[in-house]
Amino acid sequence: MRLTRYFLPVLKENPAEAQIVSHRYMLRAGMIKQQAAGIYSWLPLGYRVLKRIEQIVHEEQARAGHIPLLMPTLQPADLWRESGRYDDYGQEMLRIKDRQDREMLYGPTNEEMITDIFRAHVTSYKDLPLTLYHIQWKFRDEMRPRFGVMRGREFLMKDGYNFDVDKASALHAYNRHMVSYLRTYERMGLTAIPMRADSGPIGGDDTHEFLVLASTGESEVFFDSAVTDLKLGNREVDYDNRDEVAAICREFTTLYARTDETHDPAVFDQIPEARRKVARGIEVGQIFYFGTKYSEAMGAMVTTADGGKVPVEMGSHGIGVSRLLGAIIEASHDDKGIIWPEGVTPFPVGIVNLKQGDAAADAACEGLYKALAAKGLEALYDDRDERAGAKFATMDLIGLPWRITVGPRGLANGIVEVTSRRTGVSEEMTPDAAVARIAQIYADV
């Protein structure tokens, strides 16, 4: 993408309403525009990151064997009357009437609807296990939206629902989600710690929240610092192997890590003092096992091998997709702007032409741009007629992890600079070597 043809409305000054760093930078980098309290338009740069995050979620769900579909944002009220939640949900549910005076609602989550789909088409244990998910906009009419996309009223969420014939299978689905989520967050450059939590209005027995540590987090968390060293990495996981998946879950949940809802000081105090940490965290996902709560209320039954009928065992599992942008920025920025992890960056690399209009510099930049494209890497080429300082400031603000700097001075010696946004370290090399270097960095992202 050539910057002169893009839409990137960056702001030099801090918008007054933005209190936390991720909100400030998202506004300043031209990623979002507020349209109402807690409701945002996603401008091109923000939209690109959102799509990157969605793609990672889809890939990891596929790896775990979960099936994507898409349910609507508007739902009929009657479905929610069946589960009893139409009355329970309260003011947070946005209720709407259509022209026939039918009661509708803007979905805050989808347990009822997915159960409705399931019961209409699945009647036998032979069709299980089944896990369906979608990535769709949700609406919760928060009392106080704040912090930009971190607590919006309209937000994009991945929500998945597992259907299993018995509790052991449902718990395997729970574990499978935990492992797939660990990998999902790691690919986004995040350390998200699964913490035993409280189930809240969804109900159920087992639940973990995934917390990203950040001083601006809304939850107080208590943990053994050793948990932050745990990494799933690139290990091969057989998601159908119950023991293997369960073992990974034990690895990540044995050390103490809890939110204030489940915190137990007596247990916490047994951790060696140097590793005892109290911090704040941003909740970026949650997994629940809730058994037959919805299947019983809504009549989602399957026939078992011995001819009986049982309500299906369920759980639900969510990732706050739009919130993740805020969480990633909170976890990865400096005083100049955002620092995107390679996994989610809107563009893999930026090209800065220090002297637009200089024949050699223009030609070198065009050459780099095309060579990168040929390797499947879409650079953001700053081809504006701006001074070097302005271009650097823009690149630093929008946070592309790598920058290639091209100027007449270097080109006279046949070299360009490759600079890491994270470390600030620059290396001089030929344009060909720069392309190879960037390609190698992204080879296994």
Partner RNA sequence: CGGAGCGUAGCGCAGUCUGGUAGCGCACCUGCUUCGGGAGCAGGGGGUCGGAGGUUCGAAUCCUCUCGCUCCGACCA
Residues that bind RNA (CB under 7 A): 10-17, 19, 28, 34, 36-38, 92, 140, 142-147, 149-153, 155, 157, 200-202, 209, 218-219, 283-286, 318-320, 322-323, 336, 354-355, 387-390, 392-394, 396-397, 405, 407-411, 417, 419, 426
Q: 240 near 329, Cβ under 8 Å? A: no
Q: Which is nearer to RNA, 116 or 396 (CB)?
A: 396
Q: Which is nearer to RNA, 276 or 355 (CB)?
A: 355
Q: Which is nearer to RNA, 145 or 343 (CB)?
A: 145
Q: CA-CA distance, 156 to 73, in Å (whole number)?
A: 11
Q: CA-CA distance, 300 to 101, in Å (whole number)?
A: 29
Q: Which is nearer to RNA, 92 or 432 (CB)?
A: 92
Q: How far is the CB of 181 from RNA (least distance, A)?
A: 11
Q: Which is nearer to RNA, 129 or 189 (CB)?
A: 189
Q: How far is the CB of 3 from RNA (least distance, A)?
A: 11
Token match 């939590």: residue? 197
Q: How far is the CB of 201 from RNA (least distance, A)?
A: 6
Q: How far is the CB of 33 from RNA (least distance, A)?
A: 9
Q: How far is the CB of 445 from RNA (least distance, A)?
A: 23
Q: CA-CA distance, 170 to 150, in Å (whole number)?
A: 30
Q: 318 near 412, Cβ under 8 Å? A: no
Q: How far is the CB of 121 from RNA (least distance, A)?
A: 27
Parallel, antiparallel or unpaired: strands 350-353 and 337-338: unpaired
Q: Which is nearer to RNA, 119 or 183 (CB)?
A: 183
Q: How far is the CB of 345 from RNA (least distance, A)?
A: 17
Q: Which is nearer to RNA, 17 or 432 (CB)?
A: 17
